[in-house]
Structure 1
Amino acid sequence: MSKMKGGELIAEYLVREKVPYVFGICGHGNVGILDALYEVRDKVRLVSPRHEQCAGHMADAYFRVKHRPVATLSSTGPGSANMVMSLATALSDSSAFLAITANVPTSQANRAPFQELYKHNQSDFPSVLRPVVKRSFQPSRVDMLPLALRQAFDTMTTGRPGPVNLDIPYNVFQEEADVEVPPPAHRHGTHRPGASEADVAASLDLLEQSARPVFFIGQGATLAEAGPEITALSQRLGIPVITSPNGMGCVPADDALTLGFIGRNGAYPANQAGRHADLVITIGTRFDDRSSSTWHPGYSWNFPKTRLLHVDIDPQELGRNYPPTLGIIADAKVYAGQLLAALDGRPGLDASRFGAWREQVAGWRAEWEAYVRPHFSETTSPLRPEYVVGALQSALPDDVILTLDSGVHHNWFMQFWKPKRPQSMLNSWGYSSMGFGVCSVLGAQLAAPDRPCVAVVGDGGFTMTPYVLCTAVEYDLPCVWVIWNNFAWAAIRDIQYGLFDGREYGTAFYRGQDMKQPYNPDFAALARACGADGVTVTRSEDLRGAVEQAVRNRRPCVIDVHVDAEVRPPSTGTWQLPPIPFKDPVYGKPWIA
């Protein structure tokens, strides 16, 4: 043991855990650790964005790309309160980072010093974060730090990943104690539970009894890096795969067996396969309202008439919304590998069993393509949404990492984007946070410095978080932001139109005395003012060239794309905001088994 300050111990532990970055913003509450981080700056780099929410989204994206956690640092009070959004986003999507927050000195606790929350308990900031983290630790002495640090890293990455809070009173950064830097925590990769032999056999029994099976995979498959095993299963058995947004990229997007996303704004073949399946093998995903057409039978799924085999590492997700025929607590990669190996003992269980089912699915794919594909080549001003998706798909290289914000553009990309690699389409799905896509592209770029990183974001979301341009220029991060500029909170405007007889109020951006002139800032000029490149695109013919040039330049760039706000994604399922009645699909019909 040696005498160390608390800040030094934290810094040295981050080095030991091989944490390459701390995304943080200074404040009086955390200035006590900054000098310790300075001493290890060649091993742990402090990157300071212009807002704490952004720091959290950056750390979240880093984990989604690398599957290795980094840390954030925020000061007492408002700075740490700004972390709530990004922590909730990470928790909802099973992403992990260590949120180090500062608090008032222990000697001042419960005396209402500057920025203390003390109404119900002294130094009570962890109560603010408890609903949005996997666990919160508050070591009040330096000698409590070693255990808290190790437990924090273990908690983040064991089982279902999630963010963890380490709340540090100011004095603990500067006080000294005889302590030892703890050993690194166990890693998520070493804790991979599998299914029992009986459950693997029961899984194969269900497959043998089915005629129309589908896989439904999500973030759990992505986090476990189970794509190769699930792809092999799908190919060997000839079974179609439906993906959640966070499962996209796990299986080959261009394969005829990959059906895409399901739900209101899912692809028609996915909803049709979900409606008509007699067995759904769900690996590492949950049945939230958007991927289940708000649980209305016949719109996306037909449980309980359809049998459900549900596999998840988190036991709380089994049976949350649909009671499974067979529920298995297991890691997605381990389970898929077990199932694949067990097929050798079932020689009659192969792709020939499901040929008629695949033909039916192929017919739905052909119908959908005939319906949607013509719009991808329409050249208009402003641009059609389908054209934007198609142009980006052809202009961006296969190794692109795409980060998507919340908004109507996200619905279009869920329906039509085809990611070429796993961990390359980052979504705020569970919490749907405005600003996630805008900010997370910075963390993705730091995680993959040699790959192009592109954010497709709404005009509303970008206006909430435009400070990202400063960070990109400061740290020379060649991120590209494609702004889906439709002069509105268009996702909500479209809901309002659909539910309230075409009326709009408070969901579009207007100016002028009559408040009827569409208004947005000149986003390209804003980018140039920050030191980035900026381009405005109002004609279809100009989009591909602008995107290709931005990627070649390897500089921060904003491409302001004016998109037709009157073209809406074709719903193929439904979504309800109770008690307002839900709508039937624009394309396709519900089917009850």
Structure 2
Amino acid sequence: MATSLLEARINSKMIMESISSIGVKSVFGCQEESLISFYCDRNPNVDYIQLRHEQAAVHAADGFARASGKPGVVLLGTSLSLTNGITGIATAYSDSVPLLIISGPLFPIHSSKNAFDDLNIIGMATPITKHIFTVENTDDLPLIIHQAYHLAANGRPGPVLIEISTNMAPKHQKYVSNDFNLAEPFLQSLKNESELCRALEFIETARKPVFLIGGGTIISGASEVLHKIVQQCQIPVVTTLMGIGAYSTVDRLFLGMLGMHGTYAANKAVHQCDLLISIGMRFSDRVTGRISGFSPKSKIIHVDIDESELNKILQVDLPIVSDAKAFLSWLHNHIDHQKVNYNTKNWVNEATEWKRTVPRFDKSNSILSPQTVIQMIDRYSDDSALVVTDVGQHQIWTAHNYKFKNPRTLLTSGGLGTMGYGLPAAIGAAISRPTEQVICVSGDGSFQMNLQELITIVKYQLPIKIAILNNGYLGMVRQWQQLFFNGRYSSVKISSPDFVKLADSYGAVGFKAQTEEEAKQIIIEAFNLQGPVLMEFNVVEEENVFPMVPPNHNNHQTLLSKE
């Protein structure tokens, strides 16, 4: 039974009023026939942000969620739209980002069965969502939308899909908003007091403890209490890529990012420590290197809200199921910080002397290095600026060379490593926090995967500053081919448009720099302009990301140069 135009408009109004009643003010989607009723019958309390591609729309909702801590909401019309958005949903699922995705035939495109109705949407989406609701009755929509939004944000956050059935039965009644009493995202209760007491004993007797902080610590809002514990107890901190910003990267006790591209200090500290307190992270191979040689001298505490992550990759000494903030708050209230401080004094003096900066390139024919560009962007941007990256060498250069002092200021695709994430995610971040600077750092390869969203930035006049590090390669793949395949380059040399002319054609301001002085001038000018600005930096072609741990090696076996 095809949905009539009147029924479609009733459903659209019900969806928007339900979303509005939760407090959602921005929804992301694309312009397509099945969503006509959403942008023709606008809800004055909800902005409908239109992007040019469904993958970009999901990434934008993702960027909104990471910047705000609240679920991003995205509308995907037909089944075909959902298949375009699958990569974005998988990206959010991998990084525990809360999304509410509403998909279905919301406008009568055809009078007969849609050609795409036979797609197994539930089969495709189940592995990359927390839950899927199928709505077959109009009256169920308000409650399901509220439940889905709540589910996306609570526990381990993630995407929740609402599938509108092609045969949804309408009641033709006026929608009446209900007062749904949705609690704020909860802190999962601490289940076992004995586990907490054991953790306390481990920490108070350790001589060489290290905090290993992941993205779950940022998600839970635990940065403030983490800072208090670290300062009082004097315990060094390392982070995963997703954990950057949970603890100020300029603090003496911050040793850097751990893992394949981690700093010498971070990798050595974890290798030498006698206690590793791991919070809100999942021991991916990019963090651990070869499992058999990871942190061989330590006891390991692993705290995570998702019980399935405990002992999944690494057998630990003390697994604790808990929200990161709940655990750290309990620890802060019970720990004898003077005792810990006394025990760790020598260890802190030793660990903080290790090299935390990353090595510069050895030989270069270029007068503008990517590291210098990132350092300049850091110097002239605000401390509260949101930095969104694509995936590749520029992602790691940003992690190492930009000083992140606050949580939710680095937005990047970690688990899935999705190229093309940066530009649309920056749109969501700018919508979420319109008073903050938003900087998108990309490469010439990644940027071309969703560059059509330049028109979206111009349409909404979002003050996003885009920095493209143009080295003429798919840089990270080229680096692997150089280091581990004897320099046999294949399919990594790429061509690009003139990005400055491209920006101009879309109606944005474009600048180009080839020297440090030019880079400084255009960065300062870009931050002084109100609207969107694209900056292209021509950097050294074969610059590598170092440090780097080779595949199947331990983290202390770090390459510091290509020699």
> Normalising by structure 2, what TM-score?
0.92
The partner residue of 1:319 within 300, 303, 311 is: 311
Alignment-derived partner of residue 128 in structure 2? 132
Render the CA deviation track for 1:498-541: whole Å, top value 9, x for unaligned.
221111011111xxxxxxxxx32100110011000001111111
**Structure 1 ranges of 4+ moved more than 6 A:** 104-109
The partner residue of 1:88 within 87, 90, 93 is: 90
5+ residue gaps, structure 1: 119-123, 510-518, 589-593
The partner residue of 1:243 within 235, 239, 248 is: 239
Matched, 1:489 2:474: yes
Superposed displacement of residue 381, structure 1: 3.5
Superposed displacement of residue 348, structure 1: 5.5
Alignment-derived partner of residue 513 in structure 1? none
Alignment-derived partner of residue 533 in structure 2? 557
Q: Would you say the 8 A contact 2:466–2:535 is kept in 1? A: yes
Superposed displacement of residue 179, structure 1: 6.0
How many angstroms apart in 2 are the aligned matches of 1:187 and 1:244? 30
More deviation, 176-185/486-495 = 176-185
How many angstroms apart in 1 are the aligned matches of 2:229 and 2:135? 47
Matched, 1:444 2:434: no
CA gap 1:241/1:584 in 2 versus in 1, 3 angstroms: closer
Alignment-derived partner of residue 102 in structure 1? 104
Identity, % of aligned positions: 27
Mapping 1:21-100, distance limit 5 Å: 21-36=26-41, 38=42, 40=43, 42-100=44-102
CA gap 1:383/1:296 in 2 versus in 1, 3 angstroms: farther
Mapping 1:132-171, distance limit 5 Å: 132-169=128-165
Q: Would you say the 8 A contact 2:187–2:326 is kept in 1? A: no
Alignment-derived partner of residue 12 in structure 2? 7
Alignment-derived partner of residue 3 in structure 2? none
More deviation, 177-186/485-494 = 177-186
Superposed displacement of residue 165, structure 1: 0.9
CA gap 1:565/1:556 in 2 versus in 1, 3 angstroms: same
CA gap 1:140/1:189 in 2 versus in 1, 3 angstroms: closer
The partner residue of 1:335 within 324, 327, 345 is: 327
Superposed displacement of residue 194, structure 1: 2.9
How many angstroms apart in 2 are the aligned matches of 1:467 and 1:108? 29
Q: Would you say the 8 A contact 2:236–2:253 is kept in 1? A: yes
How many angstroms apart in 2 are the aligned matches of 1:347 and 1:168? 54
Superposed displacement of residue 411, structure 1: 1.9
Secondary structure of the residue aligned to 1:559 is strand
CA gap 1:572/1:466 in 2 versus in 1, 3 angstroms: closer
CA gap 1:147/1:108 in 2 versus in 1, 3 angstroms: farther
Q: Would you say the 8 A contact 2:267–2:556 is kept in 1? A: no
Alignment-derived partner of residue 514 in structure 2? 538
Matched, 1:113 2:114: yes
CA gap 1:351/1:573 in 2 versus in 1, 3 angstroms: farther
Q: Would you say the 8 A contact 1:380–1:539 is kept in 2? A: no
Give, as a single letter, the amino acid of the residue that structure 2 aligns with 1:428: S
CA gap 1:348/1:71 in 2 versus in 1, 3 angstroms: closer
More deviation, 355-364/451-460 = 355-364
Superposed displacement of residue 172, structure 1: 4.3
More deviation, 187-196/331-340 = 187-196
Secondary structure of the residue aligned to 1:140 is strand
Q: Would you say the 8 A contact 1:382–1:562 is kept in 2? A: no
Give, as a single letter, the amino acid of the residue that structure 2 aligns with 1:350: V
Superposed displacement of residue 391, structure 1: 1.4
How many angstroms apart in 2 are the aligned matches of 1:25 and 1:406? 24
How many angstroms apart in 2 are the aligned matches of 1:354 and 1:427? 33
CA gap 1:536/1:174 in 2 versus in 1, 3 angstroms: farther
Secondary structure of the residue aligned to 1:245 is coil
How many angstroms apart in 2 are the aligned matches of 1:141 and 1:178? 14
Alignment-derived partner of residue 291 in structure 2? 295
How many angstroms apart in 2 are the aligned matches of 1:43 and 1:272? 52
Mapping 1:419-438, distance limit 5 Å: 419-438=404-423
Superposed displacement of residue 17, structure 1: 0.4
Q: Would you say the 8 A contact 1:29–1:76 is kept in 2? A: yes
> Normalising by structure 1, what TM-score?
0.88
CA gap 1:341/1:195 in 2 versus in 1, 3 angstroms: farther
Alignment-derived partner of residue 514 in structure 1? none
Secondary structure of the residue aligned to 1:23 is strand
Secondary structure of the residue aligned to 1:390 is helix
Superposed displacement of residue 135, structure 1: 1.1
The partner residue of 1:206 within 198, 202, 212 is: 202
Secondary structure of the residue aligned to 2:300 is strand
Render the CA deviation track for 1:115-174: whole Å, top value 9, x for unaligned.
2225xxxxx323222222111111122123233223211210110000111111356497
Give, as a single letter, the amino acid of the residue that structure 1 aligns with 2:372: Y
How many angstroms apart in 1 are the aligned matches of 2:418 and 2:351? 34
Superposed displacement of residue 469, structure 1: 1.0
